[in-house]
Amino acid sequence: MTVDGEHQVHRAIQLTVAIPTYGRDQVLAESIEALLKLEAEPWELLVIDQTPRHTPAVDLLLRTWQSEGRLRWIRQSPASITAAMNRALLEAQGSHVLFLDDDILPDAGLLMAHQQAAAHHPHTMIAGRVLQPWHRGAADPDAAAFGFNSTSPRPLQEFMGGNVCIPRKQALALGGFDRNFVRVAYRFEAEFAHRWREAGHGIYYEPAALIHHLKAERGGTRSYGQHLTTLRPDHAVGRYYFLLRTLPLRAALGAAAAAWIRSVRSRHHLRHPWWIPLTLSAEMRGFLWALRLHAGGARGIPRHQPPRLLIVTSHPIQYQAPLFRALATGSVLEGGAEPELDTEVLFLTLPDAAQQGEGFGLAFDWDLPLREGYRWRQSVSSAGAGLAGGFRGLRLRHPVRELLGGDRPPDAVLVMGWQVEGLVQLLLAARRRGLPVLLRGDSADQPPRPWPVRRLHRFLLGQASAVLTVGEANDRFYRANGVPEDRRFPSPHFVDNDFFADGAARWAPRRSELRKRWAIPPPSFCFLFAGKLQRKKHPLDLLEALERLVANPDAPAVHLLVVGSGELEAACRARVARTALPVSFAGFLNQNEIAGAYAASDALVLPSDHGETWGLVVNEAMACGLPAIVSDQVGCAQDLVQEGRTGLVFPCRDVGALTGALGEMARDPAAAGRMGQEARARVMGRYGIEQAAQGVRQGLRRALVDGR
């Protein structure tokens, strides 16, 4: 494995071993344990797990192996062997993907044999030997019909999906495996082999690549059942779909008619003639099902590469632009391999200075380029009053046209929230067009919503192939609304950490000058409030807590710097004037100026309620080396503020507790400095642009597997 030994860590992974699994527990654990003991060149192990729930012992084993870096455990639902194999193709880091059954014992030389065969035949599919229980350890005679148990290597026309090594690049170029092979996915290997050969690629049998198939009685990604004594069309649909996909229509219909007749020409039907009409009925249902699937076209991985991701958002936002740039330059495939991701951003509106300033109390433009470094376009059918008009303020007259308005249709759509009607319209339009949707919002699990709102949330979230969780409170919101674990991908809220850290470093030598500008006494411990002066942020609670603190004759010297403007600015200024509090008002500061406020201050304070679904100002402050005091209702409290290590948390609206937190922080500036350094390390290591972009890429790989 790539985790064993430092000499392997930086070597390129050559082989990805992928185990699609469903309904297996102990035999799966034994298969994995045996694989992990094998020696080979750098390789990785993926477990594409479609089992809803494992036994506690197996669940613990899988979690332990994943935490140790010995495998990647990827949950996926609903169960589909072809979807699981496509997921492995997208997630794999190796140039070749070795697919293995989930109930095997590998021969000691399995991986080495596959790697050596791939080295000799780099563009060829390598089918390995499969020793079944009834073989009793013996190989088939050379004169016998070939059944993947010969000791003689040879070229082949088909393969078995339980021991086959496939060059990933060629498989992706063919669109992967067709998810229209439903239920038992009968003949899906034969259809893929047909496309593989049509593309000019070969299939080669390597007997040294040996597995012992345990043929476990229960579970498995495909349970064939008794196809002669079933009323279900689970086998028939694959048989007829294969004919429709691989033959001209007239020939396929003729072959299907012959197969329909042959379905009852068996000893079973001669002995039990009452099964003849039942079998013919099941076969006809399978044929009609196959016709419907064929009419809708194959469902694999998008063949045109790189895949196109359309990102839709309300307007240019300073916190989103770095993510859009990262996605425009990154790769959707694991390991940074080609193809790169093709992105386009659709803005519902481009606000002018006056519209941008709504809620800030002044007109302004952001002093950073928010539309550079990625391709974008503006909606041409927007309607409504704009950003100030609430949910209906931004809506679309023609959402489908907007969705398809680029130079080519998207393969998936990333919707950045549902706070305006236009975003919801595009989400629903994408689903009507059969496009997979990713959702990234920051709603938290609190406060409780009324029943109609919860039903609406469940409906909207149910449309998404993947949701991107920005933090713990956001993840709880998705869980509470029925989004399963395998559709939730962490994409943490972030700011451009380097931008703010560099800005604070540039201003640091001028700290005394900055404090003098804002009338901050040199010895005072300076708290910073940065944000709109609005009710949900409770700036008046902070002023009351400051008043109580300075009223204590034993309190340390403190000062408060208020950066921002808004509806409560007049009330805040009036209270400061009336009580002569040590407070300075800096007004609104743009992105290139705000770092100076962080450099002049010693700690951030954010007393907001549940309306603060995250609080990105905390990310900014921590990137600049400041600890934070936040209420327990601020969305990021559980993620960023570790009590006594990166800051302090107090109960929202508890002014006495806030007073105590201010005093505790100010009395020990050295401890506050240490907390600030740990806070900086936390956001730099876990809450950056790349972590957010990686979550989008992981969610997109899941969405591309779900397909249309």
Span 433-482, pLDDT tens digits: 999 999 999 999 999 999 999 999 999 999 999 999 999 999 999 999 99
> What would the CATH number be for the domain defined by 497-687?
3.40.50.2000
For the chain, give the mean pLDDT: 92
pLDDT at 219: 59
pLDDT at 125: 97
pLDDT at 235: 83
**Residue 273 pLDDT > 90:** no
Q: What is the mean pLDDT of residues 170-189?
A: 93
Q: What is the mean pLDDT of residues 156-167?
A: 96
Question: With contact defined as beta carbons under 8 Å apart, do 700 and 438 qualify?
Answer: yes
The number of beta carbons lying within 10 Å of the beta carbon of residue 117 is 23
Using CB atoms within 10 A of its CB, is residue 293 exposed (0-12), middle (13-18) or buried (19+)? buried
Per the structure block, which two tokens stand in for 630? Answer: 């936040």
Using CB atoms within 10 A of its CB, is residue 197 exposed (0-12), middle (13-18) or buried (19+)? middle
**Residue 505 pLDDT > 90:** yes
Superfamily of domain 308-494+690-706: Glycogen Phosphorylase B; (3.40.50.2000)
| Nearest-angstrom CA–CA distance, 111 and 106 | 9
pLDDT at 338: 44
pLDDT at 303: 73
pLDDT in tens, 568-625: 999 999 999 999 999 999 999 999 999 999 999 999 999 999 999 999 999 999 999 9
pLDDT at 217: 60
Superfamily of domain 6-213: Spore Coat Polysaccharide Biosynthesis Protein SpsA; Chain A (3.90.550.10)
- DSSP annotation of 175: T
Q: What is the mean pLDDT of residues 346-374?
A: 91
Q: Which helix (H) or strand (E) holds 265?
A: none
The residues spanned by each domain of the chain are 6-213, 227-296, 308-494+690-706, 497-687
Q: What is the mean pLDDT of residues 216-225?
A: 57
More reliable by pLDDT, 398 or 272: 398
**Residue 340 pLDDT > 90:** no
The residues that bridge with 74 in the sheet, in sequence order, are: 48
Residue 222 banded pLDDT, cuts 50, 70, 90? low
What radius of gyration, in Å, describes the C-alpha atoms of the chain?
Answer: 30
| Nearest-angstrom CA–CA distance, 285 and 297 | 19
| Nearest-angstrom CA–CA distance, 79 and 114 | 27
Residue (of 216, 6, 213, 212) closest to 109 by Cα position:
212
Same fold, 308-494+690-706 and 497-687: yes
The residues that bridge with 469 in the sheet, in sequence order, are: 490
pLDDT at 431: 94
| Nearest-angstrom CA–CA distance, 175 and 188 | 13
| Nearest-angstrom CA–CA distance, 421 and 85 | 37
Residue 494 banded pLDDT, cuts 50, 70, 90? very high
Question: With contact defined as beta carbons under 8 Å apart, do 376 and 364 qualify?
Answer: no
pTM recorded for the entire structure: 0.85
